[in-house]
């Protein structure tokens, strides 16, 4: 299971939001390239970038910062935020980003998802961000009536490379991942599922590692790395060791009622 540091970009700076609230943005570093290099130095083998301005505007805004990070690093980078048409995805991938993460269009334009998967095979990820099991769109500013698991099934059928599942109620809260929701979503698709939101400790990562055999292949970690609650070096080491040990298959549920 990959431990994937998150870098959220707002006005060209690295920030973290609380439950997706743009009014609760905390700046952690004004130099995204330096931040990215720091995570690589600590053992990151992949980075997760989110263009928060883009997610709100509906088109990529922080391409300059993203391009600078890609040029500076040699590890794969996945990016989401504001990718709602074919040209935006093509422009992003032309920077050298390995995978583009789309969200809103998965709900509103599934035919576009199918076309993108054909044009850019293996490079399209769908981000499913949910509140109480329903999919949120437009930078989490709106909540649809679409059920997360049903959307995951449809997207897998269209050929997306992976699904990132975020429980918005857990994002930035350090309350632990929603294990039950992840189990349920992973059970309905045969493609990799990447967990996002709520990781607060190495114990949380080991709980997710127990779901690796069920299809949860990665964990995106944000605020816990920036606050120091999780050391990336220690997390990478613990997950590597845990993979070769007997990890309990049920470390308890973190699901919201």
Cα separation, 135 vs 153, whole angstroms = 13
Cα separation, 55 vs 52, whole angstroms = 5
Exposure of 52 by Cβ count < 10 A (0-12 exposed, 13-18 middle, 19+ buried)? buried
Whether residue 129 lies in the annotated active site: yes
Residue 237 lies in a domain: yes
Range of weakest confidence among 115-129, 135-149, 220-234: 135-149
- Mean of per-residue pLDDT scores for the chain: 88
Which residue in the block uniquely carries the two structure tokens 């050929």? 159
Average pLDDT over residues 187-206: 94
Whether residue 246 lies in the annotated active site: no
Residue 252 lies in a domain: no
Q: The pTM is what?
A: 0.87
Between the CA of residue 152 and those of 62, 164, 215, 250, what are the distances in Å? 28, 10, 13, 23
Cα separation, 225 vs 200, whole angstroms = 8
User: Which residues of the chain form beta strands (DSSP E)?
Assistant: 2-10, 13-18, 21-29, 47-51, 77-80, 99-102, 124-131, 134-137, 142-147, 162-167, 193-196, 216-221
Q: Residue 123 belongs to what domain range?
A: 2-243
Closest CA to 99 of 192, 161, 9, 166: 161
In which element (H, E) is residue 188 found? Answer: none
Residue 253 lies in a domain: no
Cα separation, 160 vs 83, whole angstroms = 15
Cα 239 from chain centroid? 18
Q: Are the CB atoms for 66 and 47 separated by under 8 Å?
A: no
Residue 184 lies in a domain: yes
Model confidence band, residue 172 (pLDDT cutoffs 50, 70, 90) = low
Residue 251 lies in a domain: no
Total count of domains within the chain: 1
Residue 53 lies in a domain: yes
* Catalytic annotation, pick one of 2, 23, 31, 129: 129
**Per-residue pLDDT reduced to its tens digit, 79-132:** 999 999 999 999 999 999 999 999 889 989 999 999 999 999 999 999 998 888
Model confidence band, residue 44 (pLDDT cutoffs 50, 70, 90) = very high
* CATH assignment at residue 143: 3.20.20.70
Residue 249 in this model has a pLDDT that exceeds 50: no
Residue 254 lies in a domain: no
């Amino acid at each position: 299971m990959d431990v994937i540091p998150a870098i959220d970009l707002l006005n060209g700076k690295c920030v973290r939001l609380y439950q997706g609230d743009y009014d609760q943005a905390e700046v952690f570093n004004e130099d995204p390239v330096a931040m990215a290099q720091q995570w690589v130095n600590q053992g990151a083998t992949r980075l997760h970038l989110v263009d928060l301005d883009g997610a709100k505007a509906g088109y990529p805004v922080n391409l300059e910062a993203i391009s600078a990070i890609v040029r500076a690093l040699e590890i794969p980078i996945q990016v989401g935020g504001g990718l709602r048409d074919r040209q935006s995805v093509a422009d992003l991938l032309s920077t050298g980003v390995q995978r583009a993460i789309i969200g809103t269009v998965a709900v509103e334009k599934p035919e576009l998802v199918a076309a993108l998967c054909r044009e850019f095979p293996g490079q399209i990820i769908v981000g499913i961000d949910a509140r109480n099991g329903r999919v949120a769109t437009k930078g989490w500013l709106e909540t649809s009536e679409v059920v997360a698991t049903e959307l995951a099934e449809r997207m897998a059928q269209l050929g997306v490379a992976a699904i990132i599942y975020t429980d918005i109620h857990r994002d930035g809260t350090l309350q632990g991942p929603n294990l039950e929701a992840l189990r349920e979503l992973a059970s309905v698709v045969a493609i990799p599922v990447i967990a996002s939101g709520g990781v607060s400790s190495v114990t949380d990562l080991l709980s997710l590692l127990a779901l690796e055999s069920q299809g949860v292949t990665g964990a995106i970690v944000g605020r816990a790395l920036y606050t120091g609650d999780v050391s990336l070096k220690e997390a990478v080491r613990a997950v590597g060791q845990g993979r070769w040990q007997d990890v309990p298959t049920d470390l308890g549920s973190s699901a919201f009622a």
